Amino acid sequence: MNTAGTAGTAGTAGTAGTAGTAATADSALPAGQQPVYPDPAALRRVTEELSGAPPLVLPGECDRLKDRLAAVARGEALLLQGGDCAETFDGVSEHAVHSKLTTLMQMSAVLTYAVAIPVVKVGRLAGQYAKPRSLPTETREGVTLPVYRGDAVNGPAFTPQARIPDPERLLRAYRASSHTLNLVRAFTASGRAGLGQVHEWNRDFIAGSPLRARYETIAAGIDRALHFMRATGARPRDFDDSEFFVSHEGLLLDYEGPLTRHDDRTGRSYAASGHMLWIGERTRDADGAHVAYFSRIANPIGVKLGPATTADAALRLIDRLDPDREPGRLTFVVRLGVDRVREVLPPLVEKVTASGARVVWACDPMHGNTLVAPSGHKTRRFDDILGEVRGFFEVHRALGTHAGGLHVELTGDDVTECLGGGHDLGFPDLFHRYESACDPRLNRGQSLDLAFRVAGFLEDARPALDGLAG
């Protein structure tokens, strides 16, 4: 595991006020990837304000997501988790939220048809403002500055001033998350995303896709299913499948600690910053401050597992984070790379399954497949992404276990950050619309390409899924 970057201690996260104290991290433990703020008094003011701020999500919502993920763990549902690599404060708009939600809903409709089980939709959204980095600094034309760590920490501009960690940004992250969640809740409550409407959007996508002939069979199948449902007398709103949750990497302990709330109903503590939080590959040390904090919150949680993960490390994480072996509590998000997934995943799944744990297995086909283009852009090839997903599903089929879902960096806009896909983007296209604040995302069309292509594997896997669900 790479723990490069500024390592601090959880420090103020444990002293952040009454609301946060029950579940905050132990300040004695090492906490990787934490910013070092030049003005501790300013940080203290911010954490105090966050401690008194209203929760962004409620415990009951987090429990509902845990129930949905328990169904995934049992093989009765699929997880689709996706959104920006790094959200930005400037990027909060009705359009941006709407286009990400509709993209995920369109993907979900295709996947639901393919597997004939519900798809649980979780955005990397409303809180994804902090990034763990491989190196603490970056150098351009001989000038070296601290690296950009996400809008919640510092600014992306390559100036010494912008790169100084500013605790006020934690408050801006809270407000931006609140505005985003407000849009998510308004949109999902609006009834504008019924299955019939979502399928119409997919029809529009197919009409403009160079691969329309390939996708037509699935679209025609969905047409027939919708006609059948309407013929039974069901009304369009009966097909509303817009339940949606939000998630982010729980990286900044000075943010998560103060935003932790005790729930009198259950007697447990919850991260109030998002329904689901995950621990990144660089901070999943079983003896570190992140794992300690996550062990004390009751939300459904994820842990990223990279190719160096051993089965013993995975079992240790289960003991620390899911001691009661509660289905839906723990999702392992494996990000192994197209070349390693078939070799690394089987022993992990076998040993975890043999231990009796019922985790959700999700595939992140992005983070193991990053390359640098000749132009210097970080990018990923669509075929590698698809190849890792294919490997992930094949491994689970061979083992008779449930391939629980996908975790993807994507946007609803027509950016040009990843190569390939239906419109076969190449290296020169990276100059057109590369907007990611950190890692390259699938654009809207590539995301839908992925859903339609994966739907092919999943339809094949349906008998095995039926067997598991029975």
Residues that bind ligand E4P (CB under 6 A): 85, 131-134, 367, 438-439
Find the shortest distance in angstroms from Cβ 50 to ligand PEP: 22
Residues 298-327, one symbol each (x = binds ligand PEP by CB under 6 A, - = not), give: ------x-----------------------
Which residue spans within 13-151 are E strands per DSSP? 30-31, 78-83, 119-124, 137-140, 143-146
Is residue 282 marked as binding? yes
Nearest of 383, 386, 358, 381 to residue 371 by alpha carbon:
381
d(CA 27, CA 31): 9
Subset of residues 56 to 115 that bind ligand PEP, contact rule: CB under 6 A = 85
Which residue spans within 213-349 are E strands per DSSP? 245-249, 260-263, 268-271, 276-279, 301-305, 330-334
The three-point CA angle 181-186-191 to 5° equals 135
**Using alpha carbons only, how large is the chain's radius of gyration in Å?**
21
- 248 binds ligand PEP per the rule CB under 6 A: no
Please give the structure tokens belonging to residue 412: 């609803």
Which residue from 11, 155, 280, 300 is in contact with ligand PEP, where contact means CB under 6 A?
280
Residue (359 or 366) nearer to ligand E4P, CB: 366
Q: Assess contact for 221 and 199: CB atoms under 8 A.
A: no
Partner from ligand PEP, ligand E4P, none binding residue 304, C-beta < 5-8 Å depending on class: ligand PEP
Partner from ligand E4P, ligand PEP, none binding residue 169, C-beta < 5-8 Å depending on class: none
Which residue from 121, 367, 380, 441 is in contact with ligand PEP, where contact means CB under 6 A?
367
Residue (336 or 403) nearer to ligand PEP, CB: 336
Is residue 363 marked as binding? no
Find the shortest distance in angstroms from Cβ 418 to ligand PEP: 15
Residue (53 or 289) nearer to ligand PEP, CB: 289
Which residue from 149, 335, 441, 453 is in contact with ligand PEP, where contact means CB under 6 A?
335
Pairing of strands 370-372, 360-363: unpaired
Find the shortest distance in angstroms from Cβ 133 to ligand PEP: 9
Subset of residues 408 to 467 that bind ligand PEP, contact rule: CB under 6 A = none
Q: Assess contact for 259 and 273: CB atoms under 8 A.
A: yes
Is residue 335 marked as binding? yes
d(CA 131, CA 120): 25
Is residue 256 marked as binding? no
Is residue 459 marked as binding? no
Is residue 45 marked as binding? no
Question: Quick one: which H or E segment has residue 362?
Answer: strand 360-363
